[in-house]
Structure 1
Amino acid sequence: MKRIVVVEDDTTFRKLIVSEINKSDSYECIASFSKINDFVKELPNLFPDLFWLDISLPDGLSIDYIPKIKQLFPGSLCMICSMHDDDDKVFAALKAGADGYLLKNSTLEKMIEGIEELFQGGSPMSPFIARKVINSMKLEIPNSELLTQLTNREHEILSSLAQGFQYKEVADQLSVSLETIKKHVQNIYKKLHVQNRTEAIIKYNKL
């Protein structure tokens, strides 16, 4: 069972997320915090597989502590779930080492799917956040050599992922199974020499 820590100052939302996590047979919320200081004090004792982080808390920003999290727990993942959609916060979180970024206006289903995608090696992002990543790379130097190795179907899948669609949605769009999409995604990662969805999208949009 995957262990998850939630850092969120909105009491109602925190309880909702913790409840949804604990409903799953695959996940368990082992601790939750409403303040950064309390979280940081307990951090060395937590040993979770995933940190679920709001950005702005009453006593600080969680993204300031992502490097420390990654240092203490190199194998742990960090998911941002925030109301912030401005460029500064989004890219500060990604640069700090966040593995995914969902907006709080996402459905609970999307949020739980995002957790699943993280553990499958992806980097879930709300469509609006994915678009920011795309736009930020438009002026970068093209890297088409690797992308030419992708099949037409792989281009289709990567294009949909770049638009913020989840694996299940892409499978429905293309009338194939979820497992087929996952296999294609793994092939895409190998061909592009990347480790996650964010890196794949960045290379795709350099074309």
Structure 2
Amino acid sequence: MIKIAIVEDNDALRSSLEGLFNRSEGMRCVVALPHLLNVVSELARARPDVILMDIGLPNISGIEGVYTVKTHYPEVQVLMFTVFEDDEHIFDAIRAGASGYLLKKTPPEDIVLALRDLFHGGAPMTASIARRVLQSFRTAPSTVASDHRLTARENEILYSLVDGLSYKKIADKYCVSISTIRTHICNIYHKLHVNSKAEAVAKALGRGGKR
């Protein structure tokens, strides 16, 4: 069972999403919040696996919320759900620790699929957002590889993380075991001086590492 938290200030949309997840097989919404004011205590009570979070929230922005969540609950994965599709919001969210980025025009069935993918190690993004990320990334990978002494295979796996592939899909792509991919990713994290997939992607994009 995938336990989902929603942070969305639009009451109708929040209620609709809650119903969608509770109707979806293998999913349950454990908390639905209109803001981030009590997010640490609410998450301590609900213990979600993944969070669907708006950016344009009252009082505390969703980007600041991602940073707060990842500081207190680093194992919880955050999927941004927003109308913003500019580079500043996209990369600020990734740098803060978000593992995926969906636009609010995403069809309901694709939201469900994205959350499943996130839970299983993927980094789901709306296609137009993924293109922007990839376009930015392709200008810097050789610099990242040389500056941080990544091997050719490590650089290929870093590309795959930016492409949003799950560990299983990366393992299938290179015909190796998931444990081998995990070892490569641990080495990548060590060389890039990061602790998460989102930070590795941000470093690869030349957007900085940790806050």
TM > 0.5: yes
Which structure 1 residue ranges, 5 or more long, are not aligned?
A: 168-179
Q: Which amino acid aligns with 1:146?
A: A
| Residue identity in the other structure for 2:137 | M
Aligned to 1:138: 138
CA separation of 1:10/1:149 partners in 2, compared to 1, >3 Å: closer, same or farther? Answer: closer
Q: Do the aligned residues in 1 keep the contact of 2:154 with 2:184 (CA within 8 Å)?
A: no
Seen in structure 2, the aligned counterparts of structure 1 residues 138 and 31 have a Cα distance that, compared at 3 Å, is same
Task: Report the secondary structure of 1:101's partner residue.
Answer: strand
Deviation readout 1:73-124 (Å, 9 max, x if unpaired): 2221111111111111111100000011111111111111101111111100
Q: Report the CA distance shift for 1:38/1:141 in structure 2 as closer, same or farther (over 3 A).
A: closer
- How many residues align? The count is 184
In structure 2, the CA distance between the partners of 1:107 and 1:185, relative to structure 1 (3 Å rule), is farther
Q: Which moved more, 1:30-39 or 1:89-98?
A: 30-39
Asked if structure 2 preserves the Cα contact closer than 8 Å seen for 1:44 and 1:72, the reply is no
Tell me the TM-score normalized by structure 2. Answer: 0.71
Q: 1:48 aligned to 2:48? A: yes
2:12 is aligned with what amino acid?
T
C-alpha distance in structure 2 between counterparts of 1:114 and 1:78, whole Å: 11
Which position in structure 2 is the counterpart of 1:60? Answer: 60
How far the C-alpha of 1:16 sits from its partner, in A, is 1.6
What is the rounded CA distance, in whole Å, between the counterparts of 1:88 and 1:199 in structure 2?
18
Alignment CA distance shift 1:131-1:199 (3 Å): farther
- Matched position secondary structure for 1:36: coil
Match of 2:76 in 1: 76
| 8 Å CA contact 2:95, 2:199 repeated in 1 | no
SS in 2 for 1:117: helix
5+ long unaligned stretches in structure 2 = 189-195, 205-211
For the structure 1 residues 119 and 43, does the alpha-carbon distance in structure 2 shift closer, same or farther, using more than 3 Å as the test? closer
Contact 1:4/1:30, CA 8 A, preserved across alignment? yes
Quote how far apart the aligned CAs of 1:71 are: 2.7
